[in-house]
Each structure stands twice: as structure tokens, then as C-alpha cells.
Structure 1
Amino acid sequence: MKAYLLYEAGGPDKLVLGGTKRPALQSGEVLVKVKAISINPADAIYRNSPAFIAHIFGQEWPVILGWDIAGEVVEKAENTAGFEVGDAVFALLQKARGYAEFVAVNTELLANKPNNITFEEAAAAPMAGLTAWQPLVHGMTIKTGNQIFIHGASGGVGHYAVQIAKYLGAQVIATSSAKNRNFVLSLGADKHIDYQTENFWEVMSDVDFVFDTIGGETLEHSIDVIKSGGTIISIIPMTDERLKAKAQEKNVNLSLWGLQVNGDDLRAFADLMAKGILKSYLTKTYPFAEMAAAHTQIETRRTVGKIALIV
């Protein structure tokens, strides 16, 4: 099968399209013929970091990156009840290996692709979608009418977060650049703030929740606008202990949320996609041969919604 092989960490040019063996199935796994994959900022971070690659693969080289896939089941092992050959599925992979024509996936991680979405839209959802879903659904106690402030609302994670927050009944205030204002409002945001021209901490106060995808000064100023007893969840690692002390002094719950690979969450997300409540917005779709271009785009950190590749 064809796959993108990474022989050493580095830039997008280090991803080499070559041939390798199809994965052998173990109990509980199905073989998925990949129809589409999506690229996340994490893909580029791992590609460029020997330490991160070693964390997943040990001393194995070359490696195959890629966490988000959608495709069709073409073979199954034992203990795979609930999925049959021919099923359209998508998944967030536990240990990458998604940049390939075929991938072995444990059925615990699989979700059926809703009939009303494309393979590209399905592939776009797992990592970014669950990165938004888990903090908002499991980490917050959002009730109808609560205000939530979402940073980076036009990005991959942010655009799902706006939709999830509206589904949960929240009043959504969201930031992006002015050029993405209409897009963010179309997702369901009730108010938009242009982070390039407005200081949000000067025009906001007493929000119930903050979902942070930016970190740094944005996170620090978020503490200024949240009410006592409110909750801030960031997906950006925090190294400044001063922020934790500031949050504690104001009686604000501040925490970091790391993505957990969870098939139950993905299937819940898929159910809302099937109902048209959640949607993947693709700003661009690339052919499989243009992997380097897709990585170059995601590294700009200016991607609106998601990007996907057709395999």
C-alpha cells in the first residue's frame, strides 16, 4: 500500500510517499480502506519533534503519522461485532498511522459515518471535534443561558466549540479576526469580538465559562473577565504559575484539558452530525499527493475550519 513515511523529524518535505505492507489485523480490529484524512496542528508539531515521535513510536523508523481517518471497512478480525465489511466509518487513531491507504482500527475507536456527510467531513472531525467536545461536555457544567467566551472561534477546534456550546444552550461570545466574523456568527455565535482591534477585557465581564485555544496573554486576560466561581479550560499547556495563583485569588477554576482518545465521545459527536447539529467546515481539500502543501497550510495557524485530503 502507499503511505507517507517519515524517516526523520523535520519539515513537510520529510514526509515521503512510498510503499509499505498493509497492517496485519489483531483481535478486535478491522481494516479500513482510507477515503479521507485530515491534518491538525498536532500533526505538524509531531512531524517536527524527535521527542514526540519517540513518545509514540519508540525507536521505530520510518513512522507513519496521522490521527484522523474516514473510510470503508474491507476486512475484519474476530471480536468485531457491530461493524461489517462495507461499513463507512471514521476514527481518531490511538497511535497515528493514518497517512496510508489502509489502517487497522480497534472497533472501540470507530464510529459509523453519518449518511448525510462526506468522508472528508467525517475525517475532519475526530481530533479537533473531541478537543472541543470533551472540555465543554465533561469539563464544564453549561446550563441554558450561561455565557461562554470562546477564543479562536474560526479555527479547527474553535469552530466546533461554538457549535457544541450552542447545542448545550449557552450564549456564545467568540473571538476571531474581522475577516472571519461572518463565519463565526454563522456557526451560532451570539456576539463576535475582533481580537486584532478590540481588547476583550475592556468590553466584557462576568462570563460563566471561557474556552481557551490561544494561551499566553489571552489566557491571563480571560481571568479578568470571568466571574468568581467560573471555569476556564485551556487546551494550551500552561507554564506560568502566576496565572494559576491569579485564578485562585479570584476563585476561578482554571485547568488544562488534554485530548483523550474515546470512541464513546466520537459516537456521540457522530450522532449530532447525523442530526445536522454539528458540522465540519472545510476551507480546503487536497489530493493525497499534496501532503506537504497541507502541512504547510496548517502551520500558518490561520486555517479557517478544517482541511482534509482525499486518498
Structure 2
Amino acid sequence: MKAVVIRRYGSPEVLQYEDVEQPKIQPEQLLIKIHASSVNPIDWKIRKGMLSLLTGNKFPMILGFDVAGEVIAVGSQVTRFQPGDSIYGGTGFPGGAYAEFAVVSENLVAPKPTNLTYEEAAVVPLAALTALQALREQGNIQAGQAVLINGAAGGVGIFAVQIAKALGAEVTGVCSTKNLDFVKSLGADYLIDYKRQDFTEGTAQYDIIFDVVGKRSLSTSKRVLKPNGVYITTLPTPEIFVQGILTAFIPGQKAKFIIERLNTQDLVYLKDLIEAGKIRVVIDRTYPLAELAAAHTYSETERTVGKIAIAISS
């Protein structure tokens, strides 16, 4: 099968498009023909070696987490899927989605939303699960609360705005000037142009600040966070780790970080929201698998609006 592999950590040039052996399924796994995948920041962070303590140095390595495709074969212990099913979900750590085929556990995928193409479905899992779990589990979001999304036009941000609205929150989206109308179209009630205004210096206060881009901290956000508010980030820095431990045992404001957990139940929940029209998918650009290096280069600019899709097979 065709796949993109790396044999060392480095720049986008280490991504090589070549023939590799097709994986074999275990009893609890599905063999999937991948029609599409996507690019998430964690993909190029792994490629650069930024997470080498977790990923190790066992090469060649196939990166990529998000998948949407068709079930080709099922293991003897699989009960929820059969060949021919259209699914979406993920491969789990450390990846394997940048290929024509992959094996995945059945508890990491769900039926594909019926109103999405494979490319659209492939950009949902990691980003939307991160948004959902941050708001619902770390933030304990409640209807009527004031929620600020810093980085509202990005891959996770677009889902965070829409999920917060679906859960009944009042949403403020922080983005650049050129994306204000776009974020408003996602359902944001209020908008802040970060090029003109620092949200930490405003007068409004929030129950939840979800810092998708990891540019702030609890310390810099305390003034605009309500007394029992929660600051959540996607970047588990040493500072947020320490703040998280300290605030866990002290009444008042909390600091938390989110690490997405791939699971069928939440994928089905997102599928229902998508099919109900409460979440729409936004793709900035689509690249063929052979041009994955260009896709990584674009993602690293951190100026994408929505997600980057990778078309793999028809």
C-alpha cells in the first residue's frame, strides 16, 4: 500500500511517500481502507521530534491520527462493525493514518456522519473531541454560562464555538480581523479582534476560558475569569501543570489542560450534533497524500481557518 513514512525526525522533507506492507488485524481490530485523513498540530510536533520521549525512535513511522473510510475486514472479537461500513475516528497514539489502509480498535471509531463526505468526516475526530471534552469534562459547561474561546477560527476553535453554543452557552470568540465574520457565522455571540484588543484587559468576565492556542495562562486571565471560573488550555506546559495541582485543592479559579481521549461514545455524540445541523465542518485546504509535506508546512503557519484535509483514496 502507499503511505507517508518518516525515518527520522525533522522538517517536512522527512515525510516520504512510498510503498509499505499493509497492516494485519488483531482479533479486536478493524482493517480500514482510508479515504481521508487530516493534519493536526500534534502530527508535525511528532514529526519534529518534540514528543520523542513518548514516541521513541522506532522508525519507519507512519504519522496521522484522524481517519474516515470503509471497513474492509473485522477481527474475530469485533461486534459493532462489519465489512462495508463507513466509519470515522482515529488510530490512537502514535498514529498510522497517513496511509491507504490502517488497523484500528473498534472502540476508537464510530459510524460516519451521513451528511458528511469522507474528507469532511476525517477532519472532525481529534479536534472536535478535544473541544467537546475540554468544555464538558474539564469546564463542566452549563447552559447560560459565559465562555470565551481564544483561537476561535482554528481547527479546535471552530468546534469549540459550535459545541459551546449547542450546549447553551453564551460564546465570545477571539480571532484575527479577517476571521471575525467567519467566527460570527459559527454562532459566536460576541467577537474580540486580538489585533485590536487584549481580551484579558476587557470588562467582561467568563465562566470558562478555553485557550485553544495556548497563548495565555491562568495568571494572565485571572482578572476576566469569574471567581469560580475555569481556565483550560491545550498545551500541558510546566506552568499549567503546577497551576492545575495547586488550584485543584484551593477553592476558586481552576487551571486545567485537555488531552483528548478517543472513544466511540463521544464520536457518536458528535455525529448526532453534525447530523442535526448543530456543527458544520470547515475545511481550509485539501491535499493529496503525496503532498503531505506541503500540508504540514501550511499547518505550521498556524494561520489555518478550520481544518486541513488529506485525500487518500476514492
* Pairwise TM-score range, normalised by the shorter structure: over 0.9
User: Which residue matches 1:34?
Assistant: 34
Structure 1: runs of 5+ lacking an equivalent: none
- Aligned residue runs from structure 1 range 248-287, under 5 A: 251-287=252-288
How much does 1:121 deviate? 0.9
Q: Distance in 2 between matches of 1:123 and 1:219?
A: 33
Is 1:220–1:243's contact at 8 Å kept on the other side of the alignment? no
How much does 1:59 deviate? 4.2
Letter in structure 2 aligned against 1:4: V
How much does 1:60 deviate? 2.2
Q: Distance in 2 between matches of 1:11 and 1:27?
A: 37
Q: Tell me the alpha carbon deviations over residues 90-118 of structure 1, each in whole angstroms, 9 at most, x when there is no partner.
A: 11221311110000111111111111101
Q: Distance in 1 between matches of 2:29 and 2:242?
A: 44
Letter in structure 2 aligned against 1:83: F
Alpha-carbon distance change, 2 to 116 in structure 1, aligned in 2, over 3 angstroms: same
Alpha-carbon distance change, 82 to 217 in structure 1, aligned in 2, over 3 angstroms: closer
How much does 1:263 deviate? 2.4
Q: Tell me the alpha carbon deviations over residues 100-152 of structure 1, each in whole angstroms, 9 at most, x when there is no partner.
A: 00001111111111111010111001111111110111122322211001100
User: Which residue matches 2:148?
Assistant: 149
Is 2:109–2:263's contact at 8 Å kept on the other side of the alignment? no
Q: Distance in 1 between matches of 2:17 and 2:260?
A: 29
Alpha-carbon distance change, 242 to 10 in structure 1, aligned in 2, over 3 angstroms: closer
CA RMSD of aligned residues (A): 2.0
- Aligned residue runs from structure 1 range 220-239, under 5 A: 220-239=219-238
User: Which residue matches 1:70?
Assistant: 68
- Aligned residue runs from structure 1 range 104-119, under 5 A: 104-119=103-118
How much does 1:82 deviate? 1.7
In terms of mean alpha carbon deviation, does 294-303 or 254-263 score higher? 254-263
How much does 1:258 deviate? 1.6
Alignment coverage as a number of residue pairs: 308
Q: Tell me the alpha carbon deviations over residues 192-223 of structure 1, each in whole angstroms, 9 at most, x when there is no partner.
A: 00001112233233211111123344654322
SS at match of 2:51: helix
Is 2:225–2:253's contact at 8 Å kept on the other side of the alignment? yes
Alpha-carbon distance change, 2 to 142 in structure 1, aligned in 2, over 3 angstroms: same
Q: Tell me the alpha carbon deviations over residues 155-176 of structure 1, each in whole angstroms, 9 at most, x when there is no partner.
A: 0001100000000100001100
Structure 2: runs of 5+ lacking an equivalent: none
TM score, norm. by length of structure 2 = 0.93
